[in-house]
Structure 1
Amino acid sequence: MTTDLELAQRLADVADRITTARFRARDLHVDRKPDRTPVTDADLAVEDAVRAELAEHRPDDVVAGEERGGEVGTGRAWVLDPIDGTKNFLRGVPAWATLLALVDGGRPVLGMISAPALGKRWWAGAGAGAWCRTGAGEPERISVSGVRDLGDAYLSTTHLGSWVEHHSRESYLRLVDACWENRAFGDFWQHCLVAEGAIDLAAEAVVNPWDVAAVQVIVEEAGGTFTDLTGAPRYDGGSALTSNGHLHAEALHHLT
């Protein structure tokens, strides 16, 4: 591997081979973790395979994954969500992906999101722009929308119920009422749609670092803005708001 991006593409290929083979498999094994979220045999297999590749090609880097743990320090760390959207995966819904991010000095500098059942892959490197490939097509550079009026904005979240427990359902509904349209595309996909300019805002009341480390660099390199719900541009703040940048401050105002 000559570059981190080449390695990230290889890691995504490794993950895709595992996940596509297990998607809609009749013998898929599902357990429930202590936080009551599901984990499948595919989640564990992907994380183990990616960790093995990193041990070979980047033995000095830290790895922090959803299933096997690990801590991000001040140096280089790969942050991994083997399957983001596990509930979709185990129910046969094709909106799921493997998320990989390289964090250096506490900030994501490379993001890779691969969603093989959707036929899509998104990636970005700090200073190198954000890109997407559909199927076997050529990579295309992506950018956020130019919508400047919240009344014209398209908004997404993951699960409305999470706002009750972790933030404020009323504040999210205030933002909904201020926008033109809303859906719940959920998880990684909504943030990638922001980066592509297909929608304008995506808000999540609760996230883990591995859910949004890759998202942050992709959205920012696409010209958008990423913060937690306090307005801090950090992937480990426990919540997330992505936007085209023009709408960010006004959206945060509704959410606070």
Structure 2
Amino acid sequence: MSSHPYAAELSLALAAVHNASILTKSVLRSLKNHVSAETKADSSPVTIADFAAQALLISSIHAVYPSDQFLGEESADALRSNDTLADRVWDLVLRAKALHASRSQNGLSQHENANAGAQTLKFPASKEEMFDLIDLGGKGEQTSEGRVWVMDPVDGTATFMQGQQYAVCLCLLVDGQQTVGVIGCPNLAFDVEGPLGQSRLHEDLVDEAGYGVVLSAVKGQGTYVRGMTKDGWGEARKVELSTLPEKKLEELNFVESTLGKTSLSQEEHKAVCEQLGAQWPGTVIWAQQVKHVALALGSTDVMVRIPKTVDRFTCVWDHAGGHILYTEAGGLIKDFNGGDIDFAQGRHIAGERNYGMVAALPSVFEKVERAVKDVLARRL
């Protein structure tokens, strides 16, 4: 077993995210990239893949670390009140379990490329246990104390439904600090062995035949990317953004949400970009965690998040995991006051504590930060 801190947690997280990634990709392929959704109380969409993936993630981790806590985007409330929906999710879990059993019998395992400390994946034993496991995350509230696994089983549900980019996200917080982050991008066609920063990530850069990539980071140990296959993952490549050539300000590629479909102030995002002489929008990506991945892979250079009001919050599962991928690769992420993002606030990262975000490489960070402050000053 590796002597690196959190080696066992990383190995298990890689296996769990891989398992959930294969499940979500199977849903896309079986439904030919036309996935229907339920509507949650906040009007956002959720699919059978969201529920099933969260059940798989929590089941495997809870079996190994029963005292750890969880916080996830989904709860089982909709499943408990809708037998048809619950049956569809349970069928997905059973299919994932059968596939895992088949691989094990044939001598194949998600752990074949992992650390020796990898644990055997666990699955819910009943539909009711599946509900309870999902609710361990969905009913989770605190992130400030102890070990808490934060997850977004499908970040970017809207683009997932269209067969575009999405992410399966998992992050271990220890006393509110990101410690292990693993994010699977099953649809991302990225050349793991190619030069960093050479390919622009976009919604339709889809790995049609394969299973995309998985990125991981452990605090103080760097960021790595691996190609995913149906049965495992390839060799890890360390991502070091410091090796990229320094860009002029006008060459910076900003990553932006789908135009007009965000509650952030895109007009001010545009103003920041134009003040630096760069073209806006640069790379347009819907899923927040895929934006973090794009930054970590050097496929884009800058992210700004300017809320329209100070009381706006963002969800912790939209950033935990992706944030550590970028910072361990060499990037910086701060709020508008120069503070670190606080992941100990529970389900939300609140504007009162962390107003806005700036993400960029150290070589240009201060210039981007100044441009943001100049734009915000025009509000007065």
> What are the residue-to-residue correspondences of 1:171-210 with 2, within 5 Å?
171-177=268-274, 178-181=276-279, 182-186=282-286, 187-205=288-306, 207-210=314-317
1:79 maps to 150
Question: CA offsets per residue over residues 67-104 of structure 1, 9 Å max, x none?
Answer: 132122311110000001111111122x1110111111
Q: Give the CA RMSD over aligned residues.
A: 2.3
- 2:11 counterpart of 1:6: yes
Matched residue of 1:108: which SS?
strand
Q: What CA distance in whole angstroms lies between the structure 2 residues aligned with 1:241 and 1:99?
A: 21
Aligned letter for 2:289? F
- 2:224 counterpart of 1:154: no
Question: CA offsets per residue over residues 30-77 of structure 1, 9 Å max, x none?
Answer: 111122111001001111121111220111111000113212231111
Question: CA offsets per residue over residues 188-235 of structure 1, 9 Å max, x none?
Answer: 223222212232112334631101110111111101112234432215
Shift of 1:242: 2.1
Aligned letter for 1:172? H
Structure 1 residues 100 and 33: alpha-carbon distance in aligned structure 2, compared to 1, 3 A threshold: same
Shift of 1:185: 2.6
Matched residue of 2:217: which SS?
strand
Q: What CA distance in whole angstroms lies between the structure 2 residues aligned with 1:4 and 1:75?
A: 15
2:54 maps to 47
Q: What CA distance in whole angstroms lies between the structure 2 residues aligned with 1:249 and 1:173?
A: 18
1:114 to 167, 184, 187: 184
Q: What CA distance in whole angstroms lies between the structure 2 residues aligned with 1:13 and 1:240?
A: 29
Q: What CA distance in whole angstroms lies between the structure 2 residues aligned with 1:159 and 1:29?
A: 20
Q: What CA distance in whole angstroms lies between the structure 2 residues aligned with 1:241 and 1:102?
A: 23
Q: Which moved further from structure 2: 6-15 or 152-161?
A: 152-161
Structure 1 residues 209 and 28: alpha-carbon distance in aligned structure 2, compared to 1, 3 A threshold: same
Q: Give the count of matched residue pairs.
A: 253
2:335 maps to 228
Structure 1 residues 245 and 7: alpha-carbon distance in aligned structure 2, compared to 1, 3 A threshold: same
Give the TM-score normalised by structure 1. 0.89
Q: Quick check: 2:72–2:151 contact (8 Å CA) kept in 1?
A: yes
Q: What CA distance in whole angstroms lies between the structure 2 residues aligned with 1:123 and 1:66?
A: 20
Give the TM-score normalised by structure 2. 0.61
- 2:344 counterpart of 1:251: no
The share of aligned pairs that are identical, in percent, is 27
Structure 1 residues 91 and 149: alpha-carbon distance in aligned structure 2, compared to 1, 3 A threshold: same
Aligned letter for 2:321? A
Q: Which runs of 5+ in 1 are unaligned?
A: none
1:62 maps to 69
Q: What CA distance in whole angstroms lies between the structure 2 residues aligned with 1:86 and 1:102?
A: 22
Structure 1 residues 162 and 92: alpha-carbon distance in aligned structure 2, compared to 1, 3 A threshold: closer
Q: Quick check: 1:146–1:244 contact (8 Å CA) kept in 2?
A: no
Higher CA-based Rg: 2
Q: What CA distance in whole angstroms lies between the structure 2 residues aligned with 1:179 and 1:242?
A: 18
Q: Which moved further from structure 2: 103-112 or 67-76?
A: 67-76
Aligned letter for 1:254? A
Matched residue of 1:20: which SS?
helix
**Runs of 4+ with >6 A deviation:** none
Q: What CA distance in whole angstroms lies between the structure 2 residues aligned with 1:140 and 1:130?
A: 8
Matched residue of 2:152: which SS?
strand
Q: Quick check: 1:197–1:244 contact (8 Å CA) kept in 2?
A: no
Aligned letter for 2:339? A
Aligned letter for 1:114? G
Question: CA offsets per residue over residues 107-164 of structure 1, 9 Å max, x none?
Answer: 111110101122111110001110011345421111224535422211111234366x
1:18 maps to 23
Aligned letter for 1:81? D
Aligned letter for 1:174? A
